[in-house]
Amino acid sequence: MSTRWSWQRFEDLGVDGVYDMLALRARVFVVEQGPYLDPDGADRHAWHLLGRNAAGDLVAYLRVVDPQVKFVEPSIGRVVVDPAIRGRGEGHALMREGLARCSAAWPGRAIRISAQAHLQRFYGRHGFETISPVYLEDQIPHVQMSRRSAP
C-alpha cells in the first residue's frame, strides 16, 4: 500500500482534514472501544500525521503533542489505522513515520506515550519501554512508555 503522509499543525489541517481526523478517531476509539471524549484540548498543541491512500481517504493517523502539554517530553497519541486495512503493516509504517518526524522536530528528545496496555509489544518493537504500572484511562488499561532519543 502506498500511503501519502502529511505532517501539519492543527490550524493548518483545514476543515476537511479536521473532519477526516475526527471521523477516523471516532470510528475506532469511540465506536469500537467505547464512549469517551476524544477532543481533549491537546489537538491545538500538536502536530498531526495523516496517512492517505491513493484515493485520498485517511487510513492512518497519529498526533504528537508538544512537550510540556501532557508530559515533559513530546507525546505520541491517538495512533489509529482504518479497521479495513489492519494487519497489513500500516500501523508500523505510521509509527516509523511519526518517530522520524519527532526526531526532526525535537532532535535528541525522548518521547513518552500513554499506551493501551495490550499494545505494549507493538510499541516495544519501536523502541518504547514500559515505565509505569497499569492504570485506567477512559476505562481501558494503559501504561506509560518511553523511548529514548534516536541515535
Q: What per-residue confidence (pLDDT) applies to 22?
A: 95
Identify which of 95, 105, 97 has the alpha carbon closest to the alpha carbon of residue 127: 95
Q: What is the distance between the alpha carbons of residues 8 and 21, in angstroms, rounded to a whole number?
A: 12
Superfamily of domain 4-108: Gcn5-related N-acetyltransferase (GNAT) (3.40.630.30)
pLDDT tier at 150 (50, 70, 90 boundaries)? low
More confident residue, 151 or 83: 83
Q: What per-residue confidence (pLDDT) applies to 1?
A: 66
Per residue in 70-115, pLDDT (tens digit) is 999 999 999 999 999 999 999 999 999 999 999 999 999 999 999 9
Domain boundaries, the chain: 4-108
Residues sharing a CB contact under 8 Å with residue 94, sequence separation 6 or more, in sequence order: 49, 51, 60, 61, 62, 79, 81
Per residue in 19-45, pLDDT (tens digit) is 999 999 999 998 888 888 888 999 999
Per residue in 114-143, pLDDT (tens digit) is 999 999 999 999 999 999 999 999 889 999
